[in-house]
Amino acid sequence: MQFTPNELLLGRQRLYMLPTSHGIYFGLLLLAMLLVAVNYNNGLAYAFTFLLSAMGLVSMLYTHRNLVGLRIIPKDADPVFVGQLASFPVQIDNPSPTIRSDIWLVSNQCRRRMDLGPQSHEQVLLSAATTRRGYLRCPVISISSAFPFGLFYTWAKPARPAYRCLVYPKPGPLLPWPAHFRSGGGREPHRGIDGDDFAGLRAYQSTDPPGHVHWKAAAHGQGLQTKRFGGATNATIWLDWRATHGPDIEDRIGILCRWVLDADAAGLRYGLRMPGVELAPERGQSHLHQSLRALALWRPPDV
């Protein structure tokens, strides 16, 4: 199965069908019934056996109809950090006037059930584990159904949509600021916890240092929020690859990632300098993402 640029239509050629284990038991039941009918020469027993057999056959058509004509429309997933679950939104579209129920979107990591009314659509999140930074491709997905009896199940030829999730590096442990940095104001900025002006609250992210969590609000049941500090607005900091040490590249990227997050949380202007990459000091959400993206995709230049 191949995805057209943005969607997949479930045609007849894409659908496969097999009996479930219950379907096989059902076949054995029919066989036993037939033996009774033959042995007792019983007309109604024949009729009943054949009625159930025909019902089984017709239920295959129902099973097939339950999937045919559906459209699968996947999308890119929002970026996450390594270790978090990537959630690919997948929209299933039912353009037909019939109800489609008991439909399962299946990937190798999870299954999601949905029921679709006539001419309606539903979006489910397909989660996938992340183990390394960079792009994570949408997992191989398929869609299946055992409607109406669970005697047969049909599934679409599995496909891998060309959608992906950007996975940021895992932030390293808290470390002091890089020893070697240049700042516009000449003053070494604090880590932005005390001494600087409180600049507001934003929703907690799992990478936020625990010290920044607004615990009082949390205690009042307002959810986890992180305090932002805007005190060192003029401070500029260069986060430099050369300031990190260690044998492992990923650890060093993790440290940089931590610094980026901290610098952002502290409201600093920060720049990122790595072999082959240099981002001018800036601040704000898009700069944060740009920096994290650069870290996620960074490859050591060939020596």
65/202 with CB nearer another protein: 65
Minimum gap (Å) between residue 125 Cβ and another protein: 17
Minimum gap (Å) between residue 41 Cβ and another protein: 5
- CA-to-CA distance for 207 and 262, rounded, in angstroms? 9
Task: Spell out the residues 6+ positions from residue 43 whose beta carbon is closer than 8 angstroms to its own.
Answer: none
Amino acid residing at 230: G
47/218 with CB nearer another protein: 47
129/174 with CB nearer another protein: 129
58/162 with CB nearer another protein: 58
Q: Residue 144 in contact with residue 104, Cβ under 8 Å?
A: yes
Minimum gap (Å) between residue 147 Cβ and another protein: 7
Minimum gap (Å) between residue 163 Cβ and another protein: 18
- SS3 letters across 245-266: CCCCHHHHHHHHHHHHHHHHHC
> Is beta strand 152-156 parallel, antiparallel or unpaired with respect to 141-145?
antiparallel
- For residue 296, count other CB atoms closer than 10 A to its CB: 21
145/207 with CB nearer another protein: 145
Angle between helices 43-67 and 21-40 (to 10 degrees): 160
Minimum gap (Å) between residue 75 Cβ and another protein: 14
- CA-to-CA distance for 246 and 114, rounded, in angstroms? 48
Minimum gap (Å) between residue 130 Cβ and another protein: 19
Taking Cα atoms as reference points, which of 199, 209, 187 lies closest to residue 258? 209
Minimum gap (Å) between residue 88 Cβ and another protein: 17
Task: Spell out the residues 6+ positions from residue 281 whose beta carbon is closer than 8 angstroms to its own.
Answer: 236, 237, 238, 269, 270, 271
- Give the footprint of another protein on this chain (CB under 8 A): 16, 18, 20, 22, 25-26, 29, 32-33, 35-55, 57-59, 61-62, 64-65, 68, 95-97, 99, 101-102, 104, 106, 108, 111, 113, 115, 118-119, 140, 142, 144-150, 153, 155, 158
60/297 with CB nearer another protein: 60
Q: Residue 267 in contact with residue 198, Cβ under 8 Å?
A: no
Task: Spell out the residues 6+ positions from residue 266 whose beta carbon is closer than 8 angstroms to its own.
Answer: 189, 190, 191, 192, 196, 229, 231, 232
110/199 with CB nearer another protein: 110
